[in-house]
């Protein structure tokens, strides 16, 4: 995952980026950084932690300039090493180039070995660094030609923003795996992973950058070009952005995330109704809107059964299992007086390893619930993701080795129902344009086959 943002022609560019990173924080809590350009010099500050910890007031004063890009990181490739924090800055022919990347490339191994043979020296273990090495090899200074040549060599998932001097370049892979939105702010433009970042900086949403499109923005001028094959590629938007990852107030993949989640919940109710339940609750926050959709479709009351402690981030984003497990216990607390003796439908967006769900259900049982009917607003996740979602290896994905009945036993619920693949796609804005490899094993772009992520035993 990761959140990316860029602004041009803004009197307080780095502050706009900082606010934007606040809005995109859910896309990566591990580290944050900003690179800005003031007409003469480039400035770069990046640190581990949330945007509010990684960047101080003093930092923002130092980050002068009218053009800037920013990144919040959630590591999928490359370790959590500080060297891997973005934006990643290099100088090429006297010109600074900074990159912020969301997504995972799938031809990393080929590109690494080719570039190493040709003499490249790498500073990080990030696939994003490959992109600047490819840019450095280009003989032309014409940005459109240079970026076109490089972007055509990349495979997999990438939404990108670059700062090249005072020019912002934005690009999206031809399948459009990850979102990237374009907005207008005063006399300049903004690019951001999700439209929710625009609201905070009072930018106006224009549209999404198209899959296979590149935009080159200099001050108040925007040029757009297609570097990908014109219309030849089928889109493969990540359906998990809609299910879980993106913010509900964002508009991505031509749809509003909140409304999509409600439709997922309504479809789930059609496929797995629970008759005679007392009410529906969500596992907050990820299950909230699917639960609401479920309750409305069923005509059942929607209650709050778990209270979230707001001073904790998303549990999975911290890479260590020990921290993840500890945080599960402090994050949500059941309201006993609501739950005691009741038959309850519990809606969650997804089950990955099953460990969080199992401890959640145990807490609900301890609160005196009589029956728990768990409903999941996506199909069983059986396959690893190679395009940027940090799903574990196949052997850790509970649904890759257990049937729905076995999972129900493991998490100790009275019944368990998952949304079907067809049902999920039927409520998307054109279900044919989505990647659902984590559910179906149908990978729209060739993946590196010898990866251990695939293996059930290793």
DSSP assigned state of 448: -
Question: In the 8-state DSSP scheme, what is residue 9?
Answer: S
By the rule CB under 6 A, 74 interacts with ligand AMP: no
Q: Does position 37 bind ligand AMP by CB under 6 A?
A: no
Look up residue 328 and give its two tokens: 């599960």
Closest distance of CB 358 from ligand AMP, Å: 7
* Closer Cβ to ligand AMP, 16 or 352, answer by number: 352
Is-contact 260 428, C-beta < 8 A? yes
Q: Which long-range contacts (CB under 8 A, 24 or more apart) does 441-449 make?
A: 441/382, 441/383, 443/383, 443/386, 444/175, 444/234, 444/236, 445/106, 445/155, 445/156, 445/157, 445/175, 445/236, 445/387, 446/106, 446/155, 447/106, 447/386, 448/106, 448/108, 448/109, 448/386
Residues 232-251 that bind ligand AMP (CB under 6 A): 244
Please give the residues from 268 up to 287 whose contact with ligand AMP meets the rule CB under 6 A.
Answer: 286
Residue 214 sits at the vertex; the CA angle it makes with 122 and 71, to the nearest 5 degrees, is 50
Work out how close the CB of 252 gets to ligand AMP at its nearest, in angstroms, rounded to a whole number: 17
Binding of ligand AMP at residue 75 (CB under 6 A)?
A: no
Q: Does 356 bind ligand AMP (CB under 6 A)?
A: yes
Q: Which of 48, 78, 186, 354 contacts ligand AMP by CB under 6 A?
A: 354
Of the candidate spans 157-165, 270-278, 347-355, 449-457, the one that interacts with ligand AMP by CB under 6 A turns out to be 347-355
Q: Rule CB under 6 A: is residue 108 a binding residue for ligand AMP?
A: no
CA 345 vs CA 148, 277, 301, 349, 378: distances in Å = 51, 7, 10, 13, 16
- Of 225 and 456, which has the nearer Cβ to ligand AMP? 456
HSE on the CB side for 43, CA within 13 Å?
Answer: 20
Is there binding between residue 349 and ligand AMP (CB under 6 A)? yes
426 phi and psi angles, rounded to 5 deg: -65, -20
Q: Is 355 in the site for ligand AMP (CB under 6 A)?
A: yes
* Closer to ligand AMP by Cβ: residue 223 or 329: 329
Binding residue for ligand AMP, selected from 22, 37, 88, 391, defined by CB under 6 A: 391
Among 94, 10, 96, 5, which residue's Cα sits nearest to residue 51?
A: 5
Neighbour tally for 301: CB within 10 Å = 11
Counting contacts by CB under 6 A, is residue 29 touching ligand AMP?
no
- Contacts with 255 (C-beta within 8 Å, 6 or more apart), sequence order: 242, 428, 429
Contact 279, 301 (CB under 8 A): yes
Residues 6+ apart with CB under 8 A from 320: none
- Residue of 2, 72, 181, 435 marked active site: 2
Q: How far is the CB of 379 from ligand AMP (least distance, A)?
A: 13
Q: Which of 352, 416, 424, 445 binds ligand AMP (CB under 6 A)?
A: 352
Rounded to 5 degrees, φ, ψ at 326 are -65, -40
Buried b (16+ CB within 10 A) or exposed e, 2-32: bbbbbbbbbebbbbbbbbbbbbbbbbbbbbb
Total number of residues that touch ligand AMP (CB under 6 A):
16
From 89, 104, 96, select the one nearest 34 (Cα to Cα): 89
- Kindly state the smallest distance separating residue 126's Cβ from ligand AMP, in Å: 19
Interface with ligand AMP, residue 350, by CB under 6 A = yes
* Separation of CA 72 from chain center: 11
Asked about 196 being catalytic, the answer comes back as no
Identify which range of 23-31, 128-136, 200-208, 386-394 contacts ligand AMP by CB under 6 A: 386-394
Q: And the tokens for 319?
A: 């890479």
Question: Closest approach of Cβ 156 to ligand AMP, in Å?
Answer: 17
Binding mask 300-339 for ligand AMP (x = CB under 6 A): ----------------x-----------------------
| Block residue for tokens 């007392």 | 278
Measured from the CB atom, is 26 or 46 closer to ligand AMP? 26
The stretch among 54-62, 83-91, 149-157, 342-350 that binds ligand AMP (CB under 6 A) is 342-350
Distance CA(195)–CA(120), nearest Å, equals: 37
CB 417 → ligand AMP: shortest distance, Å? Answer: 15
Among 29, 155, 210, 348, binds ligand AMP (CB under 6 A): 348
390 lies in the binding site for ligand AMP (CB under 6 A): yes
Closest CB to ligand AMP among residues 235, 360: 360
**Which residues sit at the interface with ligand AMP, rule CB under 6 A?**
244, 286, 316, 348-357, 389-391
Cite the active site residues: 2
């Amino acid at each position: 995952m990761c959140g990316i943002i860029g602004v041009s022609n803004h009197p307080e560019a780095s502050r706009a980026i900082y606010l934007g990173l606040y809005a995109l924080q859910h896309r990566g809590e591990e580290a944050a950084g900003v690179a800005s350009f003031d007409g003469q010099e480039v400035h770069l500050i990046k640190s581990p932690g949330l945007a509010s910890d990684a960047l101080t007031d003093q930092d923002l004063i130092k980050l002068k300039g009218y053009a800037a890009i920013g990144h919040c990181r959630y590591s999928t490739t490359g370790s959590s090493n500080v060297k891997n924090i973005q934006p990643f800055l290099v100088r090429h022919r006297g010109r600074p180039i900074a990159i912020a990347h969301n997504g995972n490339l799938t031809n990393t191994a080929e590109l690494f070995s080719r570039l190493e043979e040709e003499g490249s020296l790498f500073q990080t273990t990030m696939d994003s660094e490959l992109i600047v090495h490819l840019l450095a090899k280009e003989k032309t200074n014409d940005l459109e030609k240079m970026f076109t040549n490089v972007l055509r060599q990349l495979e997999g998932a990438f939404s990108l923003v670059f700062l090249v001097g005072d020019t912002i370049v934005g690009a999206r892979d031809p399948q459009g795996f990850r979102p990237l939105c374009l907005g207008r702010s005063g006399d300049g433009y903004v690019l951001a992973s999700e439209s929710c970042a625009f609201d905070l900086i009072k930018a106006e949403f224009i549209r999404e950058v198209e899959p296979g499109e590149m935009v080159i923005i200099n001050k108040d001028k925007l040029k757009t070009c297609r570097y990908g094959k014109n219309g030849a590629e089928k889109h493969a938007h990540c359906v998990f952005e809609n299910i879980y990852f993106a913010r509900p107030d964002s508009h991505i993949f031509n749809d509003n995330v909140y409304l999509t989640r409600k439709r997922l919940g309504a479809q789930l109710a059609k496929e797995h109704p629970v008759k005679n339940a007392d009410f529906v609750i969500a596992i907050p926050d990820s299950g909230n809107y699917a639960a609401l959709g479920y309750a409305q479709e069923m005509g059942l009351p929607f209650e709050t059964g778990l209270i979230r402690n707001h001073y904790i981030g998303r549990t999975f984003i911290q890479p260590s299992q020990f921290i993840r497990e500890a945080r599960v216990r402090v994050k949500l607390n059941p309201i006993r007086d609501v739950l005691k003796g009741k038959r309850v439908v519990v809606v969650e967006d997804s089950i990955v390893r099953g460990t969080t769900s199992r401890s959640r259900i145990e807490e609900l049982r301890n609160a005196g619930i009589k029956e728990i009917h768990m409903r999941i607003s996506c199909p069983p996740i059986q396959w690893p993701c190679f395009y940027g979602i940090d799903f574990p290896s196949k052997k850790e994905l509970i649904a890759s080795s257990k049937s729905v009945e076995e999972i129900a036993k493991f998490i100790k619920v009275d019944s368990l129902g998952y949304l079907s693949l067809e049902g999920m796609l039927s409520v998307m804005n054109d279900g044919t344009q989505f990647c659902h490899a984590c559910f179906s094993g149908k990978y729209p772009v060739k993946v590196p086959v010898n990866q251990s992520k695939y293996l059930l035993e290793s």
